[in-house]
Amino acid sequence: MDNKDKTSALQSDYAFSAVDDYNARMYILPHLINKEDRDEIIAEHRLHPCGAATQPGKPAPNHSKVLGRLIDKLRVVGQRHKHTIVETIPWQEYTIGYLPGYRGGVIELSEIKYATREDAEHAIFLQRLEAFLDQYGIDINS
Amino acid sequence: MDSIQQSMLRITGYSDKFSARPGEEITFFVHSEQNESFQADIVRLIHGDTNPDGPGYKEELIHTPISDMHPGVNQPVYAGSYVLVPHNKVFDVASFTICAYIYPTTPTVDNEGVAVGVQGVLTKWDASNETGYGLFINESGELCLRIGRGKDKVEECSTGKPLMRKVWYKVGASYDANTGKVRVFQIPYVTNTNGGHGMSMLHPLEDTLGEKEFSTHYGVPTNNDCPLLLAASTEKTNSGRTIFGAHYKDLSEPLTIPVHTQKYNGKIERPKLVNCALNKHDIEILLSSQGIENVPNEQRKNVIGAWDFVANIKDNAASTTIIDKSLTLAHGQGVNMPVRGTTGFNWSSEYMSFKHGPHEYGAIHFHDESVDDARWAPSFTLKVPAELKSGVYAARLRVNRKVSADMEDYIPFFVRPPASGATAKIALIIPTFSYMAYANDNLSVNSVIAQLLTGQVPLLQPGDLLLNKERGYGLGTYASYRDGWGVNISSRLRPILNMRPKYIHVLSPSLWQLNADLHITDWLEEKGFDYDIHTDEDLQREGVELLKQYPVVLTGHHPEYPSEQMMDYYHDYQMQGGRWLYLAANGFYWITVPHPDNPNMIEVRKGDNGTRAWTISPGDYCNAFDGKHGGLWRVRGRVMSKLLGVTFSSFGLTYSSYYRRAPDSENPQCSWIMSGIDYDEPIGNFGLIGDGAAGLELDRYDLELGTPHRAFLLAHSEGHSDMYVSVSEESTFHARGYFAAGTGDNNPKTRADIVYYKTPNNGAVFSVGSMTWTGSLSHNDYDNNVSQIMTNVINQFLKAGELP
């Protein structure tokens, strides 16, 4: 039996997945079920997809607790087919790449181009959010 | 979907050295992905940041004889460490026995779940013609013997049981040409400690214990002229490349290396080859000693290879020579720096260093992605013009003279002043050891937490795409090999694709390392300060006398990886009146050791403490290159604040913040530093790295950690976001609300401090404690308070005599 064989709950790291799912259902999904709440989170992300510098005398522009928890969840998924941003024309044009998940593989590039890195970041956020909601049977558009 | 190749970098290369003086030569080695010709030129690099919000990219063309079109050739890198034992007729055996201890780390798949395929343990095997013999791990992860008699005439005898990851095994196989009897075995050997973090309860043993006998009547293996390899087999006997000199100093002439294949990940210990079929008892005796010490006299002549990995471990385990203790004396060479002095099958934890208990450190760990030298054919050589002023330069390569990100690459190098002496009063020491440590980190692809560390999705450029395709370009100390072991050795004799002008680094909103250090050269040029350039390697070789030529010495923005000698030299410089500007954060952090025979390679071991990409395995804390404890300088009594006045406290690889002045800045001994700046004026609320002068990694003063007692606090940053977290060595307990483990919005230690103190003989140290300080220098056409402070400090430091 090889260590990588997933022949038991323990070998397949079942507990991690179970607790991760619990955390998602308890602390993230309740904020995403209602479309109005969801749109508010999406709008907040659109404003500062990657954060921003702190201005003197102002609080640091942290993401709200809900958005912070959501984007951390979306960013920590495994590397296979994970989104990345590829610069196609320096400072002018970007696209989304999909990682192979291992060194030596091919990064696939989307045909859609974005004018800024922030636009690409937000587009990735929406794609990830849609896929995440889909796991729980929620349509991002409804 | 488009294919990656459309925007992947099509040309790259490296040089034989980082720095040279006028009149010296530098040779460049270029790879052209599609065998296209390229235009080469030498340029002086001034500002590498292409951000349209800044002054823009600046380079200056230097006319040299190498400016021309050059033929381009696709040059592969043959990555993966192995031991090469040259072909010897004595290895043309009929009957034979192979045995060893092994510790496989990717028996079937790697850490990413990718199948590794067949792996050679000890082979005299021609993989192209399928001749010879060898002990392998097959695709199913089973130990097997292969006997080859030509294409499609290969017999494989396996144990039928899969090997487990991180378990030591006694393995072997024998073949008796007279009887046709084959025996193959893998016997787990598990103690309470020898698996490191692996298990010590292997039950039931039968899951992985395999012993089998076979009969074959097809005859003896077909002889070949392949070398005998440990941890690989031979695809092609002559790669056209050789090893000689430097870390191969024991060789008396160049030794041809093969194109190797079927590369093994894991440890091997006590490999032996015998020219007869031994029984169990005799194998037991053979494996009971490193060499042939325990072999009865009548059998000594039969042992034709007994490689003793402990034999030449002394004060260090850096030698590439592998000693054969058999009568054959078929000594080998470790190619691509297999890791020596690592814990063996008998490691008991009684010793924590190979220097104290070498007999328990008899293993070598092999990795199929290691690279010590790309060994490409040279493309052109530059003789540095006599009149060329010291600075940062590059060979600029353009495929068919085309100018685009995928058709253009730069190979940076550093021109020093002539040997006759300094040509300026200011020296900038380029942190080349740190460039090597971060070499080809490829964290966008390698690190599942990269997006959490940086708070954004990484940006890939054409060089990143090439790097991802070419897993053979070698890694840096921020990556792990595919078996999960951290990369502890980095070489500069291969393309380092993240050490380029115009490069945007994954660990920063924009720049990091070389390209960020060009912010400093640009500012010095704009302000009219003459400066000389030297590298870490130059300082390592020439000592404090190099620094003493200059009243003022500057660091780069992230000199994180110094050697022990460099730590001493900077301290001596301070003691002898040197004036030093530490324009960085998280500097002087990791213990770094250049190879004793080849300064183009460094070693770093990341121990149990520190903000680190990986953690060293149990018992492997000591560097092979010098035998001393590796990890943080802090654990060897050299915390950075003793040298800089500040210590690494927190980091957030995202947007930056600004500084506020502190009362000490009005002290008459310090007020000159803030000349022209209002007390209430925020300092550096602008810049090209995260839009602020205080960011990325942050250092603070700490009197308990060696900040000099008469140091002054000139300013501190504030307002770092909750992306900024404490470094792990700052907190012994993580508790909600306990600020030592907090974030930017609740931990008052999350800040950068500007600290100033005087040293003996009119010396001084000025530390900024931030990695983004230098990115703010050019703001508003270089007229800003960060630039003003720098000007004030350097102008005063250049004046001889007492400081205010």
Domain of residue B638, CATH code = 3.40.50
Q: Cα–Cα distance between B757 and B765 in angstroms, integer?
A: 5
B442 touches chain A (CB under 8 A): yes
What CATH number is associated with residue B414?
2.60.40.1930
**Closest alpha carbon within chain A to B471:** A104
**Closest alpha carbon within chain B to A102:** B112
In this structure, the answer to whether residues B390 and B257 fall within a common structural domain is no
Closest to B692 measured CA to CA, from A92, A58, A134, A76? A58
pLDDT of B635 above 70: yes
Higher pLDDT, B108 or B467: B108
Tell whether B477 is covered by a domain: no
In this structure, the answer to whether residues B45 and B162 fall within a common structural domain is no
Nearest to B108 among A4, A58, A120 (CB): A4
The answer to whether B236 touches B214, Cβ cutoff 8 Å, is: no
Tell whether B511 is covered by a domain: no
pLDDT tens-digit profile of B353-382?
Answer: 999 999 999 999 999 999 999 999 999 999
3-state class of B339 per DSSP?
strand
| ipTM score | 0.94
Which pLDDT value is given to residue B738?
83
Q: How many domains are there within chain B?
A: 3
Q: How far is CA A30 from CA A23, A27, A38, A67, B277, in A?
A: 11, 7, 10, 12, 70
Tell whether B531 is covered by a domain: no
Chain A contact set for B497 (CB, 8 A): none
Q: What percent of chain B has pLDDT over 90?
A: 94
In this structure, the answer to whether residues B13 and B33 fall within a common structural domain is yes
Which pLDDT value is given to residue B443?
85
A100 touches chain B (CB under 8 A): yes
In this structure, the answer to whether residues B179 and B131 fall within a common structural domain is yes
pLDDT of B3 above 80: no
pLDDT of B542 above 50: yes
pLDDT of B4 above 50: no
Instruction: Tell me, yes or no, if the pTM score tops 0.80.
Output: yes
Q: Could you give the angle at which helices A117-135 and A65-75 cross, rounded to 10 degrees? A: 80
CA B604 from centre of chain: 7
The answer to whether A106 touches B469, Cβ cutoff 8 Å, is: yes
pLDDT band at A78 (very low <50, low <70, confident <90, very high): confident
Structure tokens at B114: 């990718």
In this structure, the answer to whether residues B309 and B205 fall within a common structural domain is yes
Contact between chains at A1 and B208 (C-beta distance less than 8 A): yes
Which residues 69-88 in chain A show a CB within 8 A of chain B? 72, 75-76, 78-79, 83-88
Dihedral angle computed from the Cα positions of residues B350, B356, B358 and B363, in that order, rounded to the nearest 10 degrees: 60
pLDDT tens-digit profile of A40-56?
Answer: 999 999 999 999 999 99
Q: What is the mean pLDDT of residues B158-168?
A: 98
In this structure, the answer to whether residues B362 and B412 fall within a common structural domain is no
Which of A77-81, B88-92, B261-265, B553-557 is predicted least confidently?
Answer: A77-81
Domain membership of residue B47 as a residue range:
4-75+377-424
Which pLDDT value is given to residue A79?
87
pLDDT band at B6 (very low <50, low <70, confident <90, very high): low
Residue type (1 letter), B297 = N
Tell whether B606 is covered by a domain: no
**Average predicted confidence (pLDDT) for chain B:** 96
Structure tokens at B92: 């043309």
pLDDT band at B447 (very low <50, low <70, confident <90, very high): confident
The answer to whether B26 touches B45, Cβ cutoff 8 Å, is: no
In this structure, the answer to whether residues B212 and B347 fall within a common structural domain is yes
- Phi-psi region for residue B299, left (φ > 0), alpha (ψ -120 to 50) or beta? alpha
In this structure, the answer to whether residues B17 and B162 fall within a common structural domain is no
Q: Taking the domains of chain A in order of start, what are their residue ranges?
A: 14-135
Dihedral angle computed from the Cα positions of residues B240, B241, B242 and B248, in that order, rounded to the nearest 10 degrees: -160
Which of B38-42, B87-91, B610-614 is predicted least confidently?
Answer: B610-614
In this structure, the answer to whether residues B94 and B69 fall within a common structural domain is no
In this structure, the answer to whether residues B761 and B647 fall within a common structural domain is yes
Q: How far is CA B588 from CA A124, B361, B629, in A?
A: 37, 29, 16
pLDDT tens-digit profile of B640-684?
Answer: 999 999 999 999 999 999 999 999 999 999 999 999 999 999 999
In this structure, the answer to whether residues B254 and B119 fall within a common structural domain is yes
Q: What is the mean pLDDT of residues B422-435?
A: 98
Tell whether B485 is covered by a domain: no
Tell whether B524 is covered by a domain: no
In this structure, the answer to whether residues B299 and B178 fall within a common structural domain is yes
pLDDT tens-digit profile of B735-789?
Answer: 888 888 889 999 999 999 999 999 999 999 999 999 999 999 999 999 999 999 9
Q: Cα–Cα distance between B292 and B299 in angstroms, integer?
A: 10
Residue type (1 letter), B491 = S
Strands (E), B345-478: 363-366, 380-383, 391-399, 408-415, 426-430, 459-460
Which pLDDT value is given to residue A7?
80
Our CA-based measurement puts residue B458 at a distance from the nearest CA of chain A, in whole angstroms, of 6
Which pLDDT value is given to residue B470?
79
Tell whether B619 is covered by a domain: no
Q: Which of A84, A93, A126 to mutate to probe the B interface, most B CBs <10 Å?
A: A84
pLDDT tens-digit profile of B124-147?
Answer: 999 999 999 999 999 999 999 999
pLDDT band at B732 (very low <50, low <70, confident <90, very high): confident
pLDDT tens-digit profile of B282-314?
Answer: 999 999 999 999 999 999 999 999 999 999 999
Closest to B435 measured CA to CA, from B604, B579, B611? B604
